[in-house]
Amino acid sequence: AQSVTQLDSHVSVSEGTPVLLRCNYSSSYSPSLFWYVQHPNKGLQLLLKYTSAATLVKGINGFEAEFKKSETSFHLTKPSAHMSDAAEYFCVGSGFQGAQKLVFGQGTRLTINP
Amino acid sequence: DTGVSQDPRHKITKRGQNVTFRCDPISEHNRLYWYRQTLGQGPEFLTYFQNEAQLEKSRLLSDRFSAERPKGSFSTLEIQRTEQGDSAMYLCASSPLPDRKKGYTFGSGTRLTVV
């Protein structure tokens, strides 16, 4: 079945250090891939999206992600974490078997230590 | 563009009661989606509309759930005879056509608690 897997349920980093949130997808086709962020008691906000153009995608707030077809991965990175980055992050896919719906990963909770 | 609005933000109901949620999408968006998010999990797809037509329903959408989008604008999601397992955040999203490459705009959700 087509799916999106986030490899870590919880990531904890110190402020100012790099962030890496890992995501793999399973599909016979190249889907559209997104990263969304959800702060406590807030809605889902789109961070960035990959839609078969450039494989390195830059998003908001200094985040970026690289689509690697050979590894079926779409990891999210940020060079320097900020306290305001603490939130739940979802890797999301669309276009599996032509379907329009979004398929969410399980989420990664990012904690930033001062 | 005022974003996607959902009402109410919170709903507490007794088991067995019916509840209805409303979603107002971004006005020019043709597609409207409903998702459910339980604690510690990612959102799960429930159903989606293209204009007023309901094009897909998940098997998660039991016969106690019904969704409508009568005029292709706002949508309602009704749960009949609520159960404690229905407690979750219900999220609405909208997108323009074609949507796969443009992403989806989510509302802040309606949190349902069934007691």
**Model pLDDT for residues B77-113, shown as the tens digit of each residue:** 999 999 999 999 999 999 887 655 667 899 999 999 9
Q: Do A44 and B43 touch (CB under 8 A)?
A: yes
Q: Do B43 and A51 touch (CB under 8 A)?
A: no
Over residues B47-75, mean pLDDT: 91
pLDDT at residue B67 above 80? yes
pLDDT tens track, chain A, 114 positions: 558 999 999 999 999 999 999 999 987 666 789 999 999 878 899 999 987 778 899 999 999 999 998 899 999 999 999 999 999 999 998 876 666 778 899 999 999 999
For residue A1, the model assigns a pLDDT of 58
Cα-based distances in Å from B20 to A18, B16, B82: 44, 13, 11
Residues of A with CB under 8 A from a CB of B: 32, 34, 36, 42-46, 49, 51, 90, 94-95, 99-107
Q: Confidence class of residue B37 from pLDDT cuts 50, 70 and 90?
A: very high
Cα-based torsion angle of the residue sequence B50, B54, B59, B60 in order, rounded to the nearest 10 degrees = 80
Report the alpha-carbon distance of residue B100 to residue A71 in Å, rounded: 22
The overall average pLDDT reported for chain B is 91
Which residue of A6, A30, A60, A100 to mutate against B (max B Cβ within 10 Å)? Answer: A100
Q: Do B42 and A106 touch (CB under 8 A)?
A: yes
**Three-state SS at B78:** strand
What lies within 8 Å, CB to CB, of B86 at 6+ separation is: B79, B112, B114
